[in-house]
Structure 1
C-alpha cells in the first residue's frame, strides 16, 4: 500500500524534474526564448500548485482513492501530448495540464499516509514518502540525460507514462477507498479563486522581466493580490471553508508550510539553474549533467531515517534549522565556487549540501502539517505539503529564472556596448543575443568569424545571471531560517500544542476540552 502511494507521488516528482536537462535541447529545437524555457520548466509546477488546494478538498469529500486513480490515468495522455508537442506553446500547455493531473493524485498520497498510520509509524512512512519522492525528482535529470543521448527531447516526457500505469494498477488493487473522509460540502467558489490566485502569481513573476510585458506582469500581479484578498474573505465567511484559516494559523502548521516552500523551492531552483549552467557553461553532456545531481539524491535517501529519528528525539524545529543550515551552505558553494572551469567536486559539493538540507527538512515539515489538522482535514494538510514542493518550486524557479533572464540580458547588453564592434550589431541581432544563451549560440553559428567572442560573452552573461539567482536563494534561506527560529515551538511546546489541537478537533460539538 505504501509502495502504491510512493509511486503515485513519483509521477508528479518525476514530472517536476525531467524538463530541466532537456531545456537547452528544447530551446534549440524551437528557437525558444528564455521566458518560454522558464514556462516549460515551471509549467508542471504551475498546474499542480494552482489546482492542488481545490483538488485536495475534492478528494477529502468524494474519495481520495478516486482522485488518485483519475490523476494517474490523466497523466498518460498529457505526458504523450508533451512528448509529441509540435510547438513550444503546445508543450507549455501540455505541461500545465499534466500538472493539473498531478494535482488530482499527489495530494491524496500524503493524506492517505496520515490517515492510515499513527505515531512513529507515520513519521517513518512520511520520511520514506518524502525521501523517495525528492530522490526521484533528483534522479529525473539523470534519466533525462540518458534518454537525450540517443533520443530526442520528447522522450523525457514519455518516461512517466509507464510509471502512471503501474501506479494506477497498484492503487486500484491495494489502496483503501474511504478513510476518515469529510461529509461536508466543498467550497467550489474558494477552489476557483485559489486556482486564479496562485496561477496569476506565478505567471506574473515569469513575465516581470520580459521586454514589453510590464503591463501584463502588473495586471497578473494585481489579479493575484486581489484574488488573495477575496480568497481570505471567502474562507472567513464560508460555512465549510476550502482552507480553514483557523487551522492554518496554528504555529506548527503555518511555519512548517513556509519553511517547506523555501526548502523545496531551493532544491528545484538549484536544479533548474544548475542544469543550464552545467551544459551551457561547463559543456557537460545531458547525461553528465543529470548524473551531477546524484549526490543530492543519495543524501536525501540516506538522511531521511536520521531526520525521522531527530524529529522524535529533538522535535521538528531543531531538525528544520539543521536542514536550513545545509541548504544555505549549498547556495554559498554555488555562488562562490561555480564558475567557468569549475571541477566536478565543486559541482557535486553544492548539490550534496542542498540534498542534505532537504533530507533533514522534508520530514519535519510534512510531519508538522499532518499532525496539526483534524482527520477530515488531511487533504488540506497534504495539499499544503504539496504546495511546499509545487508552489515553492514554481516560485523559486520563476524567481531564479527571472533573475537569470534579467542578469543575462543586462550583462550581454553591457558586453555589446563595450565591444569595439558595437556599432555593427543591429538591433535585431542584439535582441537575439540578449534573449537567451541558446539564441546567442544560434547567432554565433550565423557569424562564425565572431563565434568565439559571442560564446565567451554568452557564458560570462549567463554566469552574471546565475549569480543573481543564487544570491536570491541565500536571502530566501536566511528569511526562512529566521521564521523557524522565532516562531516554531520547541519540542515540549510543540507536543503540547499538537495534543491540544487533537483534543479540540475530536471533541463533540458543544463539548469543551
Structure 2
C-alpha cells in the first residue's frame, strides 16, 4: 500500500521538473516572454493549488481511492496535451490541466497514509518517506528531463509521467482499500468554488503583476483573490459542513506549521525554478548538465529525512522546523553569491542545502498537520499539507519568477542606456530584448555584428534578476522562521496541545449523531 501511494505522489510531482528544465528550450521554440515562461513553470502547481482543498474534501466524502484513480488517469491525458501544445498559451493551459489532474490524486495519498497508519512512529516514518520522495520527485525529475531534452527535445519530457501513472494506477487498484474512515458529511461546493477562484487568482496575479505591461490585470487578479478568499472564510464560518474547518485551522499546531511549510517548500521549488534558468542561460549548461546540477538537492532530501523523523520524535516540531529553516536560509545566502564565473561546487552546495532544509521542515509540518486533525477530517489535513507544496511552490515560483523578469528587464534597460546607442534601438527591438533571455538571443541572431555584446548583456541581466529573486526569497524565509519560533510551542507544550485537541475532538458531535 505504501509503495502504491508513494508512487502516486511521485507521478504528481515529477511533472513539475519537466517544465522547469525545459523552460529555456520552450522559450526558444515559441519566442516566449519571461512572464509567459513563468506561467508555464507555475502552471502545474497552479492547477494543484487551486483544486487541492476542494478535491480533498470530495475524496473524503465520495472515496479517496476512486478519486486517486481518476487523477492518475487524467494525468496521462494532460501529459499528452502538454507534449502536443502548438503555442505557449496552449501549453500553459495544458500545464494547468496537469495540475488539476494531480489535484484529484495527490491529496488522497497523504490522507490514506494517515487513515491507514495509527498515530505514532510508524505513521511518522511513512509521512517522512512520502514527504521526501514527493520532493525528490520534483528534484530528481530534473535529471530525467535533462536526458530527454538532450536526446529528443522538450516535448517528450512532458511524457515522463505516463508509464509511472499507469503502474501506480494498477498498484492502487490492487493494494489500496476502497473505503477507509471516510466522511458522511456533504461537500461544501460553494466554498470549493470560492477556494478555486481565490487561489487561482492569487497565484496568477502575483505571477504577472511585476510585468511592466501586465500590472493592471495583475492588480485586478489580486483584488479578485482577496474578495474570493474573504468570501471563502465567511462561508466556512457559517456553513454547517465546512470544506475547511476553521475550528481546526485555528489550532496552533495546524496554522503555524501550515504557513511555515508553505514558505519552506515554496523556497525549494522557487530556488530550483530560478536556478535552472541561471545555470543554463548564465553559466551555459546544456539541459542534461542543468538537470544533473540539482542532484544535490535530492541527495540533501535523502540524507536529511531519517534525521528529520528522529528529531521530530525527540525534540518536537519547533526544533526540526527551525533547523530546516536555518539550512534553507544558508542555501539562499549561497545563491546570492552566484555569478557568471561561479564554479559548480557553489551551485551544488546551494541545492544541497535547500533540499536538506526542506526535508526537516516538510516532515515536521506534515506530521503536525495530520496529528492535530481528527481522522474523519484527515482529507483537510492532507489537503493543507499538499497546499504547502502546491501553493507555496506556485507563489514562490510566481514571486521569484516575477522578480527575475522585472530584474532582467530593468538590467537590460540600464545596459541599453549605458551603451550610448539608445536612440538607434527601436521600441520593438527594446521590447524583445527585455522580454526574456531567449528573446534576446533571437535578437542577437538577427544582429550578428552585435551578438556577443547582446548575449553578454543578457547574461549579466539575468544574473542580476536572479540575485534580486534570491534576496526576496531570503527575506521571506526570515519571516517564516519567526512564525515557527513564536507560533509553535516546545515539545512539552506541543504534547499538551495534542491532548487538548484529542479531548476536543471526542466532544465534537459526529455526523449523523
Deviation at 1:471, TM superposition (A): 0.4
Deviation at 1:15, TM superposition (A): 1.2
Alpha-carbon distance in 1 for matches of 2:351, 2:131 = 18
Deviation at 1:218, TM superposition (A): 1.6
Alpha-carbon distance in 2 for matches of 1:84, 1:499 = 53
Query: Partner residue of 1:257?
Result: 258
Aligned residues: 509
1:437 corresponds to 2:437: yes
Alpha-carbon distance in 1 for matches of 2:509, 2:453 = 74
1:281 corresponds to 2:282: yes
Query: Partner residue of 1:409?
Result: 409
Query: Partner residue of 1:169?
Result: 170
- 8 Å contact from structure 1 (residues 200, 221) kept in 2: yes
Alpha-carbon distance in 1 for matches of 2:17, 2:472 = 21
Query: Partner residue of 1:233?
Result: 234
* CA offset digits 1:413-456 (Å, max 9, x no partner): 01101102222111110010011111001000100100111011
SS in 2 for 1:210: coil
Query: Partner residue of 1:134?
Result: 135
Deviates more, 1:6-15 or 1:323-332: 6-15
Alpha-carbon distance in 2 for matches of 1:132, 1:279 = 26
Alpha-carbon distance in 2 for matches of 1:502, 1:422 = 68
Deviation at 1:341, TM superposition (A): 1.2
Taking a change above 3 Å as real, the CA distance of residues 508 and 441 of structure 1, as seen in their structure-2 partners, is closer
Query: Partner residue of 1:378?
Result: 378
1:454 corresponds to 2:454: yes
Taking a change above 3 Å as real, the CA distance of residues 508 and 95 of structure 1, as seen in their structure-2 partners, is closer
Query: Partner residue of 1:195?
Result: 196
Taking a change above 3 Å as real, the CA distance of residues 508 and 138 of structure 1, as seen in their structure-2 partners, is closer
**Mapping for residues 339-350 of structure 1, pairs under 5 Å:** 339-350=339-350
**Mapping for residues 64-75 of structure 1, pairs under 5 Å:** 64-75=64-75
- 8 Å contact from structure 1 (residues 374, 506) kept in 2: no
Deviation at 1:483, TM superposition (A): 0.7
Query: Partner residue of 1:396?
Result: 396
Query: Partner residue of 1:35?
Result: 35
SS in 1 for 2:430: helix
Deviation at 1:287, TM superposition (A): 0.8
Alpha-carbon distance in 2 for matches of 1:75, 1:16 = 12
Gaps of 5+ in 2: none
- 8 Å contact from structure 2 (residues 201, 221) kept in 1: yes
Alpha-carbon distance in 1 for matches of 2:138, 2:211 = 28
Query: Partner residue of 2:158?
Result: 157
Alpha-carbon distance in 1 for matches of 2:66, 2:43 = 25
Alpha-carbon distance in 2 for matches of 1:306, 1:416 = 51
Alpha-carbon distance in 1 for matches of 2:425, 2:459 = 19
SS in 2 for 1:240: coil
SS in 1 for 2:378: helix
1:467 corresponds to 2:473: no
Alpha-carbon distance in 2 for matches of 1:91, 1:464 = 28
Query: Partner residue of 2:182?
Result: 181
Gaps of 5+ in 1: none
SS in 2 for 1:373: coil
- 8 Å contact from structure 2 (residues 261, 361) kept in 1: yes
Alpha-carbon distance in 1 for matches of 2:183, 2:478 = 38
Alpha-carbon distance in 2 for matches of 1:156, 1:472 = 30
TM-score (norm 1): 0.98
* CA offset digits 1:165-219 (Å, max 9, x no partner): 0111000000111111100100000000000000000111112122332221121
- 8 Å contact from structure 1 (residues 267, 358) kept in 2: yes
Deviates more, 1:394-403 or 1:206-215: 206-215
TM-score (norm 2): 0.98
Query: Partner residue of 2:314?
Result: 313
- 8 Å contact from structure 1 (residues 335, 467) kept in 2: yes
Deviation at 1:508, TM superposition (A): 6.2
SS in 1 for 2:241: coil
Deviation at 1:155, TM superposition (A): 1.1
Alpha-carbon distance in 1 for matches of 2:203, 2:359 = 26
The Cα RMSD (Å) is: 0.9
Deviation at 1:302, TM superposition (A): 1.7
- 8 Å contact from structure 2 (residues 209, 216) kept in 1: no
Query: Partner residue of 2:100?
Result: 100
- 8 Å contact from structure 2 (residues 150, 288) kept in 1: yes
**Mapping for residues 321-336 of structure 1, pairs under 5 Å:** 321-336=322-337
Deviation at 1:390, TM superposition (A): 0.5
- 8 Å contact from structure 2 (residues 40, 92) kept in 1: yes
* CA offset digits 1:88-126 (Å, max 9, x no partner): 111111100110000001000000111111211000000
Query: Partner residue of 2:220?
Result: 219
Query: Partner residue of 2:83?
Result: 83
Query: Partner residue of 1:422?
Result: 422
Alpha-carbon distance in 2 for matches of 1:389, 1:78 = 20
Query: Partner residue of 1:23?
Result: 23
* CA offset digits 1:233-278 (Å, max 9, x no partner): 1000010000011100100100100011011000000000000000
Query: Partner residue of 1:13?
Result: 13
- 8 Å contact from structure 1 (residues 35, 405) kept in 2: yes
Deviation at 1:350, TM superposition (A): 0.5
Deviates more, 1:413-422 or 1:72-81: 413-422
